[in-house]
């Protein structure tokens, strides 16, 4: 059993975003599938516009310090409420539902090769933090 500390800084968030991006373009199909599944199952996302397209990063992965696939899978205590609070404190924003970002999320899922779930986990409406780069 492992417990991972929540993020304290934007740099830690951005580090985890790079990790997830690397999984999405990995030659290891398990890493690619795992990253896509995190995005598919997510409820709250940090959203970044990169090269004229939006990228979505699930808070439950992004919100723990130096997160990796193995750390995330081993973290029995992971909780989106905990990561959402940590991210909201860093960004000085709360995640909000947003119809335009919801459409962009669905487009992003299609770009990654899967259809978005109708809602976030437990039937909850997805929410977003829009991070300006």
| Any domain includes 99 | yes
Looking at the predicted structure, is the pLDDT value of residue 8 above 60?
yes
| Any domain includes 110 | yes
| Any domain includes 3 | no
Looking at the predicted structure, is the pLDDT value of residue 129 above 90?
yes
- Residue 79 has a pLDDT of 74
For residue 102, what are the domain limits? 10-131
Q: Kindly write down the DSSP assignment for every residue of 51-89, as one continuous string.
A: TTEEEEEEHHHHTBTT--HHHHHHBTT--HHHHHHHHHH
| Any domain includes 4 | no
- Residue 70 has a pLDDT of 86
Answer for the pair 129, 45: CB distance below 8 angstroms, yes or no: yes
| Any domain includes 113 | yes
Looking at the predicted structure, is the pLDDT value of residue 1 above 70?
no
The model's pTM is 0.91
| Any domain includes 37 | yes
For 18-62, write each residue's pLDDT tens digit. Answer: 999 999 999 999 999 999 999 999 999 999 987 788 999 999 999
| Any domain includes 97 | yes
Number of domains within the chain? 1
| Any domain includes 1 | no
């Amino acid at each position: 059993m492992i417990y991972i500390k929540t993020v304290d800084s934007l740099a830690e968030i951005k580090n985890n975003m790079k990790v997830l991006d690397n999984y999405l373009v990995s030659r290891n199909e398990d890493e690619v599938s795992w990253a896509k599944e995190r995005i598919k199952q997510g409820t709250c996302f940090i959203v970044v516009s990169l090269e004229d397209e939006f990228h979505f990063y699930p808070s439950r992965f992004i919100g723990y310090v130096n997160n990796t696939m193995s750390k995330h899978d081993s973290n029995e205590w992971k909780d989106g409420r905990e990561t959402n609070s940590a991210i909201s404190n860093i960004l000085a924003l709360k995640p909000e539902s947003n119809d335009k970002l919801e459409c962009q999320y669905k487009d992003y899922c299609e770009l990654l090769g899967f259809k978005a779930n109708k809602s976030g986990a437990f039937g909850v409406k997805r929410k977003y933090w829009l991070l300006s780069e």
